[in-house]
């Protein structure tokens, strides 16, 4: 109890001093993550202040994310992120680098297909066909789930009609899908599980929902099932967020066995799986077969999210979400609350594009392009930085994830050194709940770069890691 | 305490029986809104069950929205909406009415400009110009705040450059603006104020954020300032959501005096104003001058939200948000979390459209069209239903709001009668926190209808109200 003692400055609000003091204790680890704070009664008598002052202080801690309240039990400490400063700087850097300035950099941070390969002429034709055919109608939305034609095409072309068109909800990209699913599914302080490491954008949504996040380490065939089951035995889990293919950032894909096992556990422990089907179109390794959680799901346990933006083009802002029947209505309400509806012109254009067989054609074309780029990337890595890092060959997607072997380097230091030499990488600290877990890791995305830039960039990184 | 007594059925989970029983008491008004529930200790000893059972029951009540927890104080009853069933039916009706079926109805529920007047040919030209000029670049987003060109044009054309382009955040319509502002501003159980009645979509977002909603009655020159100040004196308010012109549903606009007064109060009581600038482009009455809260704001108290979709076309999904400096970064993060970015092609097209002076031209054209429609609507009302209703002439916008004078009618009954005769209206119950407050009101929107339909529809409503 002694650590809670405060030498009050009576000129300033006491509750702020108390909450500051406790924040400080949490940050110095004098109060551990999940440690119970003293009861209001106890602390108020110990500090000789009014009960209301303690209540105010605990409320402030909760608002700022340093504490959680559990009904009938008390208030518990919650840790905040130590790399917050770096994270803010990292995100600001991209805001401040204008497209012109960015051109001077070799940018390994890209996560989406390169605009060079976008079939702009063909898409323009398709857009005009839609405008000629539908006129102003093309700009009107009438269907809450999204344009019916597109939903039919998705079911027909991507799911062999095994999905009902009315189970599909059109969304403005995968990020919105994750946001909508969270709103419909997750309440404050609900327990959820993510892979360690995981996608920053998802982590961020779950944090904004104020969920309690558990991490389970991902291996090259999927997450550690034993660790998962340990968590499930002890906690009531609402959902598990996963990227089934070429996981971002690791590039790992799930084995069939693990997918089946996780689906069984979902049924047994009554949780749901949010499957972010990230880049499964780009498979370079013949041994990898495509089979989503959703397609294996017999108990309606999977919320399936697919983006068209990542592979097509980010500015298209299109994707879809398939929900278990149980949440369907809630998902639709959540979508309406979020932005009412997705651009109807784009929906119609994509529909026509898919129906003409152009989507498949484009995906085949991209597979060839990116297969070559991937092969070259792996070659450059092997030639130049193999001795300084451990890495995994994902066999698909856009990213390679590295572990730094050199003891003197952490990923934030590497980031700054690289940036000084006009190379941009993504340090691992961004992908973990406790960012220090990512100190030795970094991600390189090759989708935006040509072979020369890849070679040049990798050589600069090698040069830095060598020191 | 006696009312809490339960004759348990020991075959079924006790906590569910307890939460059901309490729900029932709340619905029957045996437990009043805001009444404190017994402490966990008391109720567990009274019902002779384990404390954990009560905790589980209270958690369930909270999750379902029948209770709120206050740190250090206890659990309090919260009322749920009695017209929930009708609301669900109403929203389902629109999901189930396909565009084809809807054609048989005279639909007074529309809230946006009619597609007939959308300049599709001109917009198509603009789209093609953008695609020719930028190619695939048009589909790429690089700027977190939205396309810089469009932000510049907004500042230049709509704000005489009094707004910094970097204070503008492009969003996918006003609904998304409200969602983003809520995420950035409002935490669980924060107090907020809305107008009574108010826009359904905003009410719904605030409910999903689990805010505590206060209502202040709106009069024909803005909300009741005394009632506002009473609330401000007693409660710590986070923000006030308002539609400054042609409020939805009432059609009321704020007087200059009230706007100034509310801005003063915002400064004095430290709250923020979310100004949803709804349809201020369509002013039919010369006496109404345009002057937003934002333009009067000297203390950076206003979050200004503007939609381009309502007046242009819903399927465009474009709008913008201007945030106080304090929240700027949070708003941008909230936008990224929500859907990363808004369709970049549409942003560029709208930018070009505005720059060519086509936007102003279009707005002038719409003003003429809708002025005529409005005048005809008022004429028909005066000729046919004046004796059965009270109503206000808004002098702008798309909606007229009515109070039913006939004691035998409430708005839900009127809705069903109208629907039976193929006329769709929006009953007032949707616009209030406690929906029964809207029992005697309904809204007619005339934007989607031609003169014949307006006449036919109003005559049918007259016929029904006559009985």
B336 at interface of A, judged by CB pairs closer than 8 A: yes
Contacts of A204 in chain B (CB under 8 A): 333, 336-337
- Which residues numbered 16-75 in B keep a CB inside 8 Å of some CB on A? 40, 51-52, 54-55, 58-59, 62-63, 69, 71-73, 75
- Res A197: pLDDT: 97
Instruction: Using alpha carbons only, give the angle A321, B146, B266 rounded to the nearest 5 degrees.
Output: 100
For A150-176, what is the mean pLDDT?
Answer: 93
CB of A345 closer than 8 Å to CB of A139: yes
Taking an 8 Å cut-off on Cβ atoms, the answer to whether A118 and B99 are in contact is no
Q: Does residue A363 surpass a pLDDT of 70?
A: yes
Which residue carries 């066909």 as its tokens? A129
- Which residues numbered 296-335 in B keep a CB inside 8 Å of some CB on A? 313-317, 332-334
Mutation site for A-interface testing, chosen from B15, B64, B331, B340 by largest number of A Cβ within 10 Å: B340
Contacts of A94 in chain B (CB under 8 A): 144
Quote the strand ranges of B41-102, DSSP E.
Answer: 67-70, 74-77
For B291-315, what is the mean pLDDT?
Answer: 91
B464 at interface of A, judged by CB pairs closer than 8 A: no
For B128-141, what is the mean pLDDT?
Answer: 87
A137 at interface of B, judged by CB pairs closer than 8 A: yes
Token digits for B174? 């006003």
- Res B379: pLDDT: 97
Token digits for B191? 């107090």
CB of A77 closer than 8 Å to CB of A21: no
Phi, psi of B11 (to 5 degrees): -80, -20
Quote the strand ranges of B142-242, DSSP E.
Answer: 168-171, 191-196, 212-219, 222-223, 237-242
Dist. CA B4–CA B25, nearest whole Å: 8
Give the one of B95, B314, B338 whose C-beta lies nearest to A141's C-beta. B314
Contacts of B127 in chain A (CB under 8 A): 127, 131
Q: Looking at CA atoms only, how far is residue B187 from chain A in angstroms?
A: 8
CB of B192 closer than 8 Å to CB of B169: no
Nearest CA in chain B to A178: B338
Mutation site for B-interface testing, chosen from A97, A340, A344, A346 by largest number of B Cβ within 10 Å: A340
A239 - beta bridge partners?
A192, A272
CB contacts < 8 A (A, B): 198
A341 at interface of B, judged by CB pairs closer than 8 A: yes
Q: What is the mean pLDDT of chain A?
A: 91
**pLDDT class for B95, splitting at 50, 70, 90?**
low
Q: Does residue B333 surpass a pLDDT of 80?
A: yes
Q: Looking at CA atoms only, how far is residue A59 from chain B in angstroms?
A: 7
B164: left (phi over 0), alpha (psi -120 to 50) or beta: beta
**pLDDT class for B82, splitting at 50, 70, 90?**
low
Token digits for B423? 């006329």
Q: Where in chain B is the domain with CATH 1.10.10.10?
A: 2-77
Which range scores top for mean pLDDT: A54-63, A88-97, A140-149, B442-451?
B442-451
Taking an 8 Å cut-off on Cβ atoms, the answer to whether A341 and B317 are in contact is yes
**Three-state secondary-structure class, residue B444:** strand
Contacts of A142 in chain B (CB under 8 A): 98-99, 102
Report the top-level CATH class of A84-110+361-466: alpha beta
Q: Does residue A155 surpass a pLDDT of 90?
A: yes
Give the one of B71, B115, B210 whose C-beta lies nearest to A140's C-beta. B115
The yes or no reply on domain A120-357 and CATH 3.40.50.720 is no
Q: Looking at CA atoms only, how far is residue B146 from chain A in angstroms?
A: 11
B94-113: b or e for each residue (b if 16 or more CB lie within 10 Å)?
Answer: eeebeeeeeeebbbbbbbbb
CB of A156 closer than 8 Å to CB of B318: no
ipTM of the complex in this document: 0.76
Instruction: Using alpha carbons only, give the angle A439, A443, A444 rounded to the nearest 5 degrees.
Output: 145
Contacts of B350 in chain A (CB under 8 A): none
Contacts of A187 in chain B (CB under 8 A): 63
Question: How do strand A67-70 and strand A74-77 relate by DSSP bridges?
Answer: antiparallel
Dist. CA B381–CA B466, nearest whole Å: 14
Q: What is the mean pLDDT of chain B?
A: 90
Which residue carries 């999927």 as its tokens? A222
CB of B277 closer than 8 Å to CB of B296: no
Taking an 8 Å cut-off on Cβ atoms, the answer to whether A340 and B62 are in contact is no
For B232-242, what is the mean pLDDT?
Answer: 96
Contacts of A51 in chain B (CB under 8 A): 72
For A313-330, what is the mean pLDDT?
Answer: 88
A396 - beta bridge partners?
A283
Which has the minimum average pLDDT: A90-104, A342-356, B148-162, B428-442? A90-104
For A150-169, what is the mean pLDDT?
Answer: 93
Nearest CA in chain A to B176: A339
Nearest CA in chain B to A112: B140
Dist. CA B42–CA B170, nearest whole Å: 53
Which has the minimum average pLDDT: A31-40, A169-178, B91-100, B179-188? B91-100
pLDDT single digits (tens) A238-277 = 999 999 999 999 999 999 999 999 999 999 999 999 999 9
Q: Looking at CA atoms only, how far is residue B168 from chain A in angstroms?
A: 14
Say whether the peptide bond before residue B197 is cis (omega within 30 degrees of 0).
yes
Mutation site for A-interface testing, chosen from B173, B339, B342 by largest number of A Cβ within 10 Å: B339
Nearest CA in chain A to B206: A337
Q: Does residue B87 surpass a pLDDT of 90?
A: no
Q: Does residue A63 surpass a pLDDT of 90?
A: no
Contacts of B189 in chain A (CB under 8 A): none
Mutation site for A-interface testing, chosen from B337, B342, B430 by largest number of A Cβ within 10 Å: B337
CB of A167 closer than 8 Å to CB of A323: yes
A431 at interface of B, judged by CB pairs closer than 8 A: no
- The residue that leads in pLDDT, A306 or B32, is A306
Q: Where in chain B is the domain with CATH 3.90.1150.10?
A: 84-110+361-466
**Three-state secondary-structure class, residue B346:** helix
pLDDT single digits (tens) B162-200 = 999 999 999 988 999 999 999 999 987 899 999 999 998
Taking an 8 Å cut-off on Cβ atoms, the answer to whether A120 and B139 are in contact is yes
- Res B157: pLDDT: 92
Give the one of A72, A131, A314 whose C-beta lies nearest to B141's C-beta. A314
**pLDDT class for B372, splitting at 50, 70, 90?**
very high
Q: Give the H/E segment covering residue B416.
A: helix B411-420
- Res B111: pLDDT: 85
Give the one of A99, A115, A339 whose C-beta lies nearest to B179's C-beta. A339
Dihedral of CA atoms B137, B141, B147, B149 in degrees, nearest 10, equals: -20
Q: Which of A212, A213, A242 is nearest to A225 (CA)?
A: A242
Mutation site for A-interface testing, chosen from B315, B318, B321, B448 by largest number of A Cβ within 10 Å: B315
A109 at interface of B, judged by CB pairs closer than 8 A: no
Q: Where in chain A is the domain with CATH 3.40.640.10?
A: 120-357
pLDDT single digits (tens) B391-403 = 999 999 999 999 9
Quote the strand ranges of A395-459, DSSP E.
Answer: 399-404, 423-424, 426-427, 441-445
Taking an 8 Å cut-off on Cβ atoms, the answer to whether A208 and B334 are in contact is yes
For chain A, report the end-to-end CA distance as a whole number of angstroms: 48
Q: Looking at CA atoms only, how far is residue B422 from chain A in angstroms?
A: 18
CATH number of B2-77: 1.10.10.10
B243: left (phi over 0), alpha (psi -120 to 50) or beta: beta
Taking an 8 Å cut-off on Cβ atoms, the answer to whether A314 and B55 are in contact is no
**pLDDT class for B81, splitting at 50, 70, 90?**
low
Dist. CA B96–CA B107, nearest whole Å: 15
CB of A90 closer than 8 Å to CB of A377: no
Nearest CA in chain A to B312: A139
- Res A61: pLDDT: 86
């Amino acid at each position: 109890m002694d650590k809670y003692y405060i030498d009050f400055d009576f000129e300033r609000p006491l509750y702020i001093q108390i909450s500051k003091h406790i924040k400080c204790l949490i940050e110095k680890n004098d109060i551990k993550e999940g440690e119970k704070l003293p009861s209001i009664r106890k602390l108020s008598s110990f500090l000789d202040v009014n009960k209301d002052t303690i209540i105010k202080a605990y409320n402030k801690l909760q608002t700022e994310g340093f504490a959680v309240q559990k009904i009938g039990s008390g208030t518990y400490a919650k840790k905040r992120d130590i790399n917050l400063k770096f994270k803010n700087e990292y995100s600001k850097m991209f805001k401040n680098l204008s497209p012109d300035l960015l051109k001077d950099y070799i940018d390994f941070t890209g996560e989406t297909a390169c605009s060079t390969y976008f079939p702009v002429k063909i898409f323009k034709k398709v857009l005009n066909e839609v405008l000629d055919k539908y006129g102003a109608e093309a700009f009107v939305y009438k269907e809450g789930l999204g344009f019916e034609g597109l939903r039919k095409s998705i079911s027909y072309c991507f799911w062999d009609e095994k999905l009902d068109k009315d189970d599909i909800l059109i969304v403005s990209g995968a990020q919105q899908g994750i946001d909508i699913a969270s709103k419909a599914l997750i309440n404050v302080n609900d327990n959820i599980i993510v892979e360690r490491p995981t996608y920053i954008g998802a982590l961020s949504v779950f944090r904004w929902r104020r969920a309690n996040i558990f991490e389970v380490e991902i291996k090259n065939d999927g997450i550690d099932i034993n660790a998962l089951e340990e968590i499930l035995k002890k906690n009531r889990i609402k959902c598990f967020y996963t990227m089934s293919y070429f996981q971002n950032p690791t590039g790992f894909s799930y084995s069939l066995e693990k997918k089946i096992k996780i689906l069984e556990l979902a049924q047994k422990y009554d949780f749901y799986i949010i499957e972010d089907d990230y880049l499964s179109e780009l498979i370079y390794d013949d041994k990898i077969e495509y089979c989503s959680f959703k397609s294996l799901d017999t108990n309606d346990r999977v919320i399936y999210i697919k983006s068209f933006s990542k592979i097509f083009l980010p500015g298209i802002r299109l994707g879809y979400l398939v929900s278990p029947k149980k949440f369907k209505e809630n998902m639709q309400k959540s979508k309406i609350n979020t932005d009412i509806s997705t651009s109807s012109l784009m929906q119609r254009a994509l529909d026509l594009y898919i129906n003409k067989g152009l989507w498949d054609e484009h995906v085949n074309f991209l597979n060839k392009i990116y297969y070559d780029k991937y092969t070259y990337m792996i070659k450059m890595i092997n030639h130049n930085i193999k001795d300084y890092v451990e890495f995994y060959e994902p066999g698909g997607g856009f990213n390679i994830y590295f572990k730094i072997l050199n003891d003197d380097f952490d990923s934030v230091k590497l980031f700054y050194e690289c940036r000084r030499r006009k190379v941009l990488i993504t340090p691992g600290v961004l992908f973990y709940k406790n960012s220090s877990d990512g100190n030795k890791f970094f991600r390189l995305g090759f989708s935006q770069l040509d072979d020369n830039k890849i070679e040049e960039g990798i050589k600069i990184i090698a040069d830095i890691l060598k020191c």
